[in-house]
Structure 1
């Protein structure tokens, strides 16, 4: 434990947020009896990441132009279902790949910085490191994630493109939200297989 504390002391505050969340998830999800219940895992992951992720900022970025024309009810439903999608996707990844560690790249930020990219590499035995970078901003004294880039691909940009296509195919945002809600319910009921 002292080595972890020393490492955390050398990290900048936004890096410490990522490390604290990662440590909590990794420690709990190593328990095989806990991970047998996927709905329980998803709830735990939600509780850990929610305080450090700004879905109020992410949802409009993901919907792009469709956010402005959505009703407030559609906006709330989309935000909730999108958050559920992200939580179940990451829950499944954490359960499947629980033998990982994170290397933090140096971050340069001014004392008054309100935005930063925390660059990391996720390391797994026998695999190439995966670049995972977190776009974060300072909100009321706390660093929060609003985008994740995996091997250079932005989660926000990727989902914006796929939801835009889906809205055009289905003809309305409401139909897309209904389909997303259905997929979320089925995935959580099936212990994470979607």
Structure 2
């Protein structure tokens, strides 16, 4: 269980490091990229500047606030939460659905924030993307390069939502963020006996983690 959770944290950290531009992109011309690729490239270019302020990364409260503000517009949590819970989403009450979505977003933010400064010696290369003008769902393929290591395949699943491309899953060397968390929460629901108990535990874990970082 601990090994799986460590792997999960690594995947989540890399996911948002990639999404939010902590991994520098190789030099690309925006006009050469398709709109979904442009979203990732644009956010990357904007946020690389933030890393230059080393004092910023030492203030965890500031980091989490910033991360939450930037993650939300480019990540479709309304789609991710049902995908993560799978069959349990349909049987959950509306209150449980909202609580889970909120706490899961908090989990993602705090997990990413912990990894905020760990991914700073990478470059990202976009693979060719062929898509029609009518496409509403695409997979943006990239390779992440690190000195001395083999390239890592990173594929973004993106959906056109109300005119904006948003990430709803990512595959890192074939491992899906959504599938990984679905398995984890399904196991926890079976162990604890209910989704409500799992959410209560997630609330506690989030509060403890944020409190420990703030102290």
Change (3 A) 1:129 1:38: farther
Q: What's the counterpart of residue 7 of structure 1?
A: 29
- Partner Cα separation in structure 1 for residue 93 and residue 107 of structure 2: 21
Contact 1:57 1:146 in 2 (8 A): yes
For 2:84 and 2:183, locate their aligned partners in 1 and report how far apart those are by CA, in whole Å. Answer: 8
Asked if structure 1 preserves the Cα contact closer than 8 Å seen for 2:57 and 2:63, the reply is yes
Shift of 1:53: 0.8
Aligned to 2:4: none
Query: Is the alpha carbon distance of 1:191 and 1:122 closer, same or farther for their aligned partners in structure 2, counting shifts above 3 Å?
Result: farther
Give the secondary-structure state (helix, strand or coil) at the position aligned to 1:125.
Answer: coil
User: How many Å apart are 1:64 and its aligned residue?
Assistant: 0.6
1:141 aligns with 2:163: yes
Is contact 1:167–1:176 with CA below 8 Å preserved after alignment? yes
**What is the TM-score when the length of structure 2 is the normalising length?**
0.82
Distance apart, 1:137 and its partner CA: 0.8
Cα deviation digits, residues 75-98 of structure 1 (max 9, x gap) = 001001111111222223332112
Contact kept? 1:63, 1:164, Cα under 8 Å = yes
Asked if 1:77 corresponds to 2:85, the answer is: no
Match of 1:49 in 2: 71
| Structure 2 equivalent of residue 29 of structure 1 | 51
Structure 2: which 5+ runs fail to align?
A: 1-25
Provide TM-score, normalisation by structure 1: 0.90
Given the alignment, which residue of 40, 56, 63 partners 2:62? 40
- Counterparts in 2 of 1:165 and 1:134: CA distance versus 1, 3 Å: same
Q: Is the 8 A contact 1:67 1:75 kept in 2?
A: yes
- Whether the 8 Å contact between 2:57 and 2:116 is mirrored in structure 1 is no
Aligned residues: 189
CA distance in 2, matches of 1:180, 1:19: 32
Structure 1: gaps spanning 5 or more residues: none
Contact 1:26 1:94 in 2 (8 A): no
Say whether residues 1:106 and 2:113 are aligned partners: no
Q: Does 1:19 align with 2:45?
A: no
After TM superposition, give the deviation of residue 8 of structure 1 in Å.
Answer: 1.6
Compute the RMSD of aligned alpha carbons. 1.8
Whether the 8 Å CA contact 1:104–1:121 is kept in 2: the answer is: yes
- Asked whether the equivalents of residues 30 and 98 of structure 1 are also in contact (C-alpha less than 8 Å), the reply is no
Q: 1:156 aligns with which of 164, 178, 198?
A: 178
